[in-house]
């Protein structure tokens, strides 16, 4: 009896492995089929501060890119954005480093209102739960108080 259980367990290992491989390959093929449909570059400045952003839109609707914010008197923030559009608003998570520090990675949510070909960065109340920051539900995001209005520029 014990031998038959052992044989059954040994025989089932290749099947389990094969099933896991097919799931991985279907996920890989879905990732490969999600191609970039549009890439837009933006730039903005406010007093002594400036920012540059690259937004890549994928066929799945996902948005990825990069954002660099240079402050006049503070270290710059440089990192990646990832999110999606909901209506005319782009919601992203911004993972960035500050200054030359590459050991600490910070993550903040950002929201951009798309209006007249521009992206207007909003300001909203953020809270953190279990190490994840997000905009507080029910609290509006203010697009008038934001520093940066990003204009489309040629990508270099």
Structure tokens at 147: 């520093």
Query: pLDDT, tens digit, for every residue of 40-75?
Result: 999 999 999 999 999 999 999 999 999 999 998 889
Stated pTM of the model: 0.76
Q: What is the per-residue pLDDT for 91?
A: 96
Q: What is the pLDDT, as a whole number, of residue 60?
A: 94
What token pair was written down for 49?
Answer: 């501060």
Which residue's entry shows tokens 């879905």?
A: 30
- Per-residue model confidence (pLDDT) at position 30: 52
Q: For residue 6, what pLDDT is reported? A: 45
pLDDT digits (tens, 9 = 90+) for 74-128: 899 999 999 999 999 999 999 999 988 888 899 999 999 999 999 999 999 999 9
Domain ranges for the chain: 1-33, 36-153
Report d(CA 140, CA 125) in Å as an integer.
8
b vs e for 25-38, b when ≥16 Cβ sit within 10 Å of the residue's Cβ?
A: eeeeeeeeeeeeee
């Amino acid at each position: 009896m014990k031998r038959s259980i052992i044989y059954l367990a040994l025989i089932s290992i290749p099947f389990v492995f094969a099933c896991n491989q097919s799931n991985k390959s279907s996920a890989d093929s879905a990732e490969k089929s999600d191609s970039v449909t549009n890439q837009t570059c933006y730039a903005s400045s406010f007093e002594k501060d400036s920012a540059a952003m690259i937004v890549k839109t994928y066929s799945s609707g996902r948005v990825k890119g990069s954002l660099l914010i240079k402050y006049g008197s503070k270290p710059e923030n440089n990192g990646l954005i990832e999110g999606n559009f909901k209506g005319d608003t782009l919601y992203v998570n911004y993972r960035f480093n500050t200054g030359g520090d590459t050991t600490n990675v910070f993550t903040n949510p950002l929201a951009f209102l798309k209006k007249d070909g521009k992206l207007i960065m909003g300001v909203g109340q953020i809270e953190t739960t279990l190490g994840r920051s997000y905009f507080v539900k029910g609290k509006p995001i203010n697009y008038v108080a934001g520093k940066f209005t990003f204009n489309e520029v040629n990508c270099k």
